[in-house]
Chain A
Amino acid sequence: MKIKRKIIQIDEEKCTGCGNCIIGCAEGALAIVDGKAKVISDNLCDGLGACLGECPEDALKIVEREADAFDEEAVEEHLQKQTAAPKEKTMACGCPSAQIQSFSPCAQANQPTHAPASDASALSHWPVQIRLVPPNAPFLKGADLLVAADCVPVAFPSFHQTLLQGKAVMLGCPKFDDAPAYLEKFSTIFKTAGIKSITVVIMEVPCCAGLPRIVEKALQESGAKIPYNQVVVSTRGKIIEERRMA
């Protein structure tokens, strides 16, 4: 039965999906779904607000609305299920973006060895996350811009030497981040920062395709004519495609 009571409300615009609120909720009423925190089921939320102080973005608040009553038995059942559920599930087939892979040490041992590259960082600025870089950042002025998907620096071993050298970098994830906000930001950057060239580097997984789409649309909206390259990296850390787009 629905009653009018206090319950948590999440501002999806503000939520960054960091998951801090999940730790603060003893009932397990919150989960990250598609990169945003969500109340799994109203009857799991007691509305006392223990999660509020955990949110760095101030995205949570208590509201009063019609909702299922808090059900402590449902909470116990839900927590039992969570404990019983396997922590990792490897799919034989399915979405390659979500597929968990363990790379065999034998395959790594068979890689040809080479002289170690310089271990100096090629990063010339901070911050690097798209959402943290302001469009008027001084390091963007007249820069060769590298737009990289979050997973690339981890998957591609010579990221610093091969891709980052001499470039300003902006990192983001088209699957979990705020795409419209990124579109607006890139459009402003392309209009105002005098970018010399753009290289978009993404993983081979399908969800990464959103990143070049954002950049292309921003280029279109800005009306700027900037040389634009696309690089695709495999989950095994190889460049599998390089294309000059414009």
Chain B
Amino acid sequence: MKQIDNFEYPQGLRDDFKKAKKLEWITIGYLITTALAMYLTMGNSQAMKTAWFEDLLSLTPSVSFLIASRIFFKSPNRDFPFGYHRVVSIAYLCSALALFSIGTFLVIDSVITLAMREHATIGTVVVLGHQVWLGYLMIAALLWGTFPAIILGKKKLPIAEKLHEKNLYTDAKMNKADWMTAAAAIFGVLGIGMGWWWADSVAALVISVDIVHDGFNNLRQAVYDLMDQVPMTVDNQKRDPLIEKVKETLAGQSWVKDCNIRLREEGHIYLGEGFVIPAREDNLTQLIEEASREVRQLDWRIQEFVIMPVEKLPKEEKA
């Protein structure tokens, strides 16, 4: 069976990839410390519990990125002629599903807490001989979970776009949005301090709805990816402009009378086909080879592009 070529990031991106891996290791270490800090100060505040879950969940994109990055470089072989690129999409699906399902659970949990009119108790703890209200420690833990996360997120975002790496992008986005969780949870804790028993579960509800929202968006994108949706830019705004470029390149060949293309995404890379009606038939094999090479040279992401001469183009696409 014909296998696709071995994949490696182009020279210019290898350093970015190394940096991304390093940043993800730092993220994991950091998230473990915040999860620990939150667990130790959680008490029986629902908002803290939800923020803690959110924190643990935000580990999944980094972990899945690091796991996937060990696998997707593996060479295509007899059993996997397309290589291992789709591991990235599968990892993305897993983290999105985790986000969505735990978010749903937390929404239900928070609604029950609110409906039962649970009053969260926050007492005192003795730290280094000083007796302090646990609420202040909760706020400290939440702040520790905010600022470094924002910095990490800001550093990862541009790299994720360059590497066309969705796990990394989700991760960076979540890190950057972390301050909203912290703000909601701090409101919950301060609300308890003000004697508003409902503040805690309302804050928890806000956080969990946000988790579901993130989870749903990512889940949808992950499913679309696995269904071979047309390649989208990593920030999911629009069709990748590369599609048009490929089409133009093919249409620009002097020997091509008419053409149409089809691209799909496998992890970081694109595979695709072009259907062409040749204007003349002599030297066709060589012309096809050359055109295919030219398309591949457009961008590192285009890993394989098959050109098929046809008499009639497949039906025009429906909108």
Q: Are A and B part of the same complex? A: no
Measuring CB to CB, which residues of chain A are less than 8 angstroms from any residue of chain B? none
Measuring CB to CB, which residues of chain B are less than 8 angstroms from any residue of chain A? none
